[in-house]
């Protein structure tokens, strides 16, 4: 079990996504970098991690790094915990402003199945919280 948003956790997420047989079809044609910002994680502070996805595969993922990306999704640690534990739908969290989203929403909606699969993989990663 890995600590949420740690390098080990990010690597486990990459492995899970890359093993998902549905992702290549759902993500075909999608090539983007995504910055996730988990804000207010107690002693750990803010927890940024980013990923580069292409055609349903994660090419890179890095915890504790913040950089300009095609998309940014940010929100409070408690909201992210609810998402990871399956108590909050991430798209609904964006719609009700629990998470902020920056980037081309039209493109994301085109790849909504890949987004949903990504979030299902997030929920599959054995996660420990502070």
CA-to-CA distance for 80 and 91, rounded, in angstroms?
12
State how many domains the chain has. Answer: 1
Instruction: Tell me if 112 is assigned to some domain.
Output: yes
pLDDT at 126: 96
Instruction: Tell me if 129 is assigned to some domain.
Output: no
Environment class of residue 73 by beta-carbon count within 10 Å: exposed (0-12), middle (13-18) or buried (19+)? buried
pLDDT at 7 over 90: yes
Instruction: Tell me if 36 is assigned to some domain.
Output: yes
Instruction: Tell me if 80 is assigned to some domain.
Output: yes
pLDDT range class, residue 13, cuts 50, 70, 90: very high
pLDDT range class, residue 69, cuts 50, 70, 90: very high
Instruction: Tell me if 15 is assigned to some domain.
Output: yes
pLDDT at 16 over 90: yes
Condensed to tens digits (0 to 9), the pLDDT of residues 87-99 reads 999 989 999 999 9
pLDDT at 106: 95
pLDDT at 73: 96
Instruction: Tell me if 29 is assigned to some domain.
Output: yes
pLDDT at 6: 95
CATH number at residue 9: 3.30.1050.10
Going edge to edge, which strands form the sheet with 99-102? 57-63, 47-54, 31-39, 71-76, 99-102
pLDDT at 130 over 90: no
- Give pairs for 6-10: CB < 8 Å, separation 24+: 6/63, 7/62, 7/63, 7/64, 9/63, 9/125, 9/127, 10/49, 10/51, 10/61, 10/62, 10/63
Instruction: Tell me if 88 is assigned to some domain.
Output: yes
pTM of the model as a whole:
0.92
Instruction: Tell me if 73 is assigned to some domain.
Output: yes
CA-to-CA distance for 9 and 126, rounded, in angstroms?
8
pLDDT at 23: 97
Find the domain containing 109 and state its range.
2-123
- Average confidence score pLDDT of the chain: 95
Say if residues 48 and 65 touch (Cβ distance below 8 Å). Answer: yes
As a whole number, mean pLDDT of residues 26-55 equals 96
CA-to-CA distance for 102 and 104, rounded, in angstroms?
7
């Amino acid at each position: 079990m890995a600590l949420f948003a740690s390098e080990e956790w990010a690597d486990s997420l990459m492995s899970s996504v890359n093993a998902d047989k549905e992702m290549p079809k759902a993500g075909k044609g999608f090539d983007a970098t995504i910055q996730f910002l988990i804000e207010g994680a107690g002693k750990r502070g803010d927890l940024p991690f980013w990923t580069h996805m292409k055609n349903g595969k994660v090419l890179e993922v890095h915890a504790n790094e913040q950089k300009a990306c095609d998309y940014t999704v940010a929100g409070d640690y408690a909201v992210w915990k609810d998402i990871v534990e399956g108590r909050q739908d991430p798209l609904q969290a964006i719609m009700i402003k629990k998470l902020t989203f920056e980037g081309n929403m039209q493109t994301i909606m085109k790849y909504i199945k890949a987004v949903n699969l990504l979030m299902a993989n997030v929920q599959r990663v054995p996660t420990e919280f502070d």
